[in-house]
Structure 1
Amino acid sequence: MLDTILLKLDSIKERYLFLEKELSNSEIVNNHQLYANYSKEYSNIKKIVEKYEEHKTYLENFSSTKLLLEDSDPEIKSLAQDELNIITEQLKINELEIKKLLIPENEDDEKDVFLEIRAGTGGDEAGLFVGDLFRMFTRVTERKKWKIELISSRESEKGGFKEVVAKISGKQVYRFLKFESGVHRVQRVPDTESQGRVHTSACSVAVLPEVEELDSIEIDKSEIRVDTFRASGAGGQHVNKTDSAVRLTHIPTGLVVECQDGRSQHKNKAKAMTLLQSKLMEQANNKQIEKQDSERKNMVGSGDRSEKIRTYNFPQNRITDHRIEYSIHSLEAFLDGDIDEMIETLIEENQARLLSQLESNL
């Protein structure tokens, strides 16, 4: 293991022992906020310290076992070599686990998300693919026992959607879905294509972590324009006779959000406000609030096919993620929500990249 990592681990252990002592200090215990902060930090680094102590035990065992290689008895030397091989493998596994623990956690991973799917290039086919992707994510939520709520949608003329916005709630939703942000390209023969030619179209997907009350940003209500209208169902018919749907426009940035899933105008407005806060927080985190809707456009692109992160090729029964050049030949199952293999591969690749950055920075 790199000396810089060992120094980092020694520093963490020193901090761990300090926190352990402070948490039994009556003055700290009586300071509820400080006690809560110390307890959280202590809990976060405890596993690192335990793995580090385990690693040091392996090293001690390695050193003592290595001495047995000098024994005159061939049988003892053979047993010692076998034991050294086992310890060496344990050290490799333990070292990798320690490095993974040293990667800072993404606090957003535990959050619920807002999912936005919008039709890009490709006309009616793009709109139909929005529907396919929304169904895919709906099936994912069912498989994961999450909850999905439709926030708003705009239907296209041929049975698809111009856009769909939904909220997905559950355990580690953002961790699992965050890599879905980007342009998804589809290649297939449309039902209306008499010559059997493959058409290419695209949709943009954005996955935004929900802003919680503790980390939400302040919004001046005078900078928000509120419009109410009647929620529409399939074919554009009104599903109720009151103006329960809500559209919020954040005037400084031009961000627009809608919610029309419930009959209560008050509840729709509250959901729309949470979505607006999430989008503004995402912009602020990326330091791009000077440009209207620039965070989302940078994240998902314009919907142009050339910015694709993934291709769904129907004739070849293939899904390819271009970020990691990984393909799966089971398109029907994938669109039915069986996306775990692809997601876990993306997570592993991202973790490998973060490990490389960790070693470079230490």
Structure 2
Amino acid sequence: MAVPESAPQRIADARDRFAALEPHLRPDELRARVAELDAAMGESGFWDDQDRAAKTTAERSRATRRLEIHDQLASDLEDLEGLLELADEDDDLAEELVEQLDSVEKRLADLEEERLFTGPYDAGDALVTINAGAGGTDAQDWAEMVLRMQMRWAERRGFKVDLLEASAGEQAGIKSATFRVEGDHAYGLYGAERGVHRLVRISPFDSQGRRQTAFAGLEVAPVVEEVGDIEIRDEDLRVDTYRASGAGGQHVNKTDSAVRLTHQPTGIVVACQQERSQTANKETAMKMLYAKLVERAERERQEEIAKEKGEAQDVGWGSQIRSYVLNPYTMVKDLRTNVETGNVQNVLDGDLDEFVRAWLLQQAGEAEAAPAE
């Protein structure tokens, strides 16, 4: 294949984009931090404190990964210049040039996406909860579809996903489910999915084949390892234990160790049935509860700021964000950004990047337009 005429300009643009990202990537700071962590890991008795060791090794892994991304991009950009000179006379090299240029542009886009995250917890992991809304059995079936869609999206991005709890519906689907997503900027990304998801389709549960509308809500909370100012008192907790079972036996193996915690002052309920022991499930549930209390406090802070500025209030995740229409036509439309597609099946299979990126760009634009504090 011939070298595309656009290749030299695309390479020049990629170089400019990479240069603009350097202050964000901070490779020199990362190298210094990795050296510090290596020194700490080499100290006598480092592994005696397992919690500290786990946090240190996790931070080193993240820093090393970001350095590798930076260094590989820098190397690939250098290689592109050489490939461009040779590709005119070699079709195989021309094809390699195009493939590498596509790869470089994709990785640059991913790094540019990271710059859109500004929240205090955006870089960390997330707890995602799906709840069936109005619509009876259809809503519970839809909630399970949303659960599958969201978990598949996480997996497509290379995140680790653990289903912590799933409550089966009476006839089909789920009443609720919570899963943890581990990966860079998981919480920041899932902020784009927080809200009510609306489905319109011919109901498979209606004997007359009528069109039905169903709703499912998505909540997201940051995973916060360090305990801060929020206090959870024993007298504020109601602890229930029950026999764990997944939705239809699909998700979670049956045990006798499931734990449900109700935080009575706020009404927040969390549950965990993933672990083998009741003690381990309670420990995980406490972390889930703390995460939700942190998210609640952050949301209330943002609402108070908006109120002081005289801005219209958005009722957290109670607002409808996206419609999925399967009948009388097929379309998924985000009601915040107006991004839409007719390829509904791809979206239901976890292809959410276009919707998420549009929302992140919209949020970044609004933040830049806002007056300084």
2:334–2:340 Cα contact (<8 Å) kept: yes
1:309 aligns with 2:353: no
Amino acid at match of 1:308: Q
Distance in 2 (alpha carbons) for counterparts of 1:116 and 1:216: 24
CA contact (8 A) 1:147 1:169 kept: yes
Deviation of residue 262 (structure 1)?
1.9
Secondary structure of 2:269's partner?
A: strand
> Which residue in the other structure is 1:299 paired with?
316
Contact 1:259/1:272 (8 A) holds in 2: yes
Instruction: Give, in angstroms, the shift of residue 284 of structure 1.
Output: 2.2
Deviation at 1:192, TM superposition (A): 3.6
Matched, 1:170 2:187: no
How far 1:217 sits from its partner (Å)? 2.1
Q: Which runs of 5+ in 1 are unaligned?
A: 1-99, 289-296, 302-306
User: CA shift at 1:332, angstroms?
Assistant: 0.3
User: What is the TM-score with the length of structure 2 in the denominator?
Assistant: 0.61
Which amino acid is 2:363 matched to?
N
Q: Would the aligned equivalents of 1:112 and 1:168 in 2 still touch at CA under 8 Å?
A: yes
Instruction: Give the 3 Å change call, closer, same or farther, for CA 287–190 of structure 1 in structure 2.
Output: closer
Greater C-alpha Rg: 1
Cα contact 2:218–2:317 (8 A) shared by 1? yes
Q: Aligned pair in 2 of structure 1 residues 239, 207: CA closer, same or farther (>3 Å)?
A: closer
| CA–CA distance in structure 2, aligned partners of residues 281 and 105 of structure 1 | 17
Please state how far the C-alpha of 1:104 moved relative to its aligned partner: 8.6
The question of whether the paired residues in 1 share the 8 Å contact of 2:169 and 2:247 is answered with no
Within the candidate set 257, 263, 267, 1:254 is matched to: 267
Cα offsets for 1:112-168 (capped at 9, x unmatched):
111111111111111111111111111112111111111211111222111111111
In structure 2, give the amino acid aligned to 1:299.
Answer: G
Match of 2:151? 138
Partner of 2:372: 361
Structure 2 matches for 1:172-321, cutoff 5 A?
172-193=185-206, 195-215=208-228, 217-235=230-248, 240=254, 242=256, 244-287=257-300, 298-301=315-318, 307-315=319-327, 316-321=329-334
The 1:193–1:218 alpha-carbon spacing in structure 2 relative to 1, beyond 3 Å, is: closer
Deviation at 1:196, TM superposition (A): 4.2
Question: Alpha-carbon deviations, 1:146-205, whole Å to 9, x = none?
Answer: 111112111112221111111111111012111111111000001244554321111111
Moved more, 308-317 or 219-228: 219-228
Cα drift, residue 265 of structure 1: 1.2
Distance 1:253 1:314, change over 3 A: same
- Measured in 1, the distance between the counterparts of 2:168 and 2:117 equals 41
Rounded Cα–Cα distance in structure 2 between residues aligned with 1:276 and 1:146: 22
The total of aligned residue pairs comes to 251
Q: Is the 8 A contact 2:246 2:254 kept in 1?
A: no
Distance 2:206 2:132 in 1: 20
User: Which residue of structure 2 aligns with residue 335 of structure 1?
Assistant: 348
Q: Secondary structure of 1:110's partner? A: coil
In structure 2, C-alpha distance between the alignment counterparts of 1:196 and 1:248, rounded to whole Å:
40
Cα distance change, pair 157–191 in 1 and its aligned pair in 2 (3 A): same
Superposed CA RMSD: 3.1
The normalised TM-score by structure 1 is 0.63
* Residue of structure 1 equivalent to 2:138: 125
Say whether the 8 Å CA contact 1:109–1:175 is kept in structure 2.
yes
Residue identity (%): 36
Residues 165 and 246 in structure 2, CA contact (< 8 A), matched pair in contact too = no
Contact 2:240 2:261 in 1 (8 A): yes
Q: Give the corresponding residue for 1:347.
A: 360
Could you tell me which amino acid in structure 1 is paired with residue 179 of structure 2? A
Question: Contact 1:223 / 1:252 at 8 angstroms: preserved in 2?
Answer: yes
Judge which range, 247-256 or 142-151, deviates more. 247-256
Contact 2:146 2:348 in 1 (8 A): yes
* SS class of match (2:121): helix
Please give the alpha-carbon distance, in whole angstroms, between the structure 2 residues aligned to 1:123 and 1:287: 31
Amino acid at match of 1:106: G
Cα contact 1:216–1:281 (8 A) shared by 2: no
